[in-house]
Amino acid sequence: MPSIEEFIKMREGIEELAAKIAVFIERKDAREAKKHLDTANHQLEVLKTMIANDTQEMVGRRLSAQLEGFGTRIEKMKLKMPVKRRTEKKEKAEPTTRSSNTETLEIVTFERP
């Protein structure tokens, strides 16, 4: 049976990850937030196996709700992110370069009478 100290260390680790997730969400960095969320969810599953009393059960529910909220915010953030478009290379019929341009521009000024 796991000890209370182990439970507390695991809980504190999850809370630290939750704080980092919140920072990444504010920075709009969905990839890093998702990576930390996956780690926190894995640790939460381990923590749930360590629950031995009502207080620990409440902590597990609180952390579960918090991580689920982060997951929802990350998914919404991913939906709002612009889609990367693939650009096709257009073939040019005649490539023009600056040195091949033979026309010169002439500036005409008009004076008022």
Question: What pLDDT was estimated at residue 25?
Answer: 92
Question: What pLDDT was estimated at residue 106?
Answer: 77
User: Crossing angle, helix 54-80 and helix 4-26, to 10 degrees?
Assistant: 20
Question: What pLDDT was estimated at residue 94?
Answer: 56
pLDDT averaged over 10-residue windows placed end to end, the chain, 113 residues? 86 95 92 94 94 92 96 90 66 56 72 73
Report the alpha-carbon distance of residue 15 to residue 64 in Å, rounded.
11
Domain chopping of the chain, boundaries: 4-80
Token readout for 21 is: 């997730």
- DSSP code, position 29: -
Question: What pLDDT was estimated at residue 83?
Answer: 65
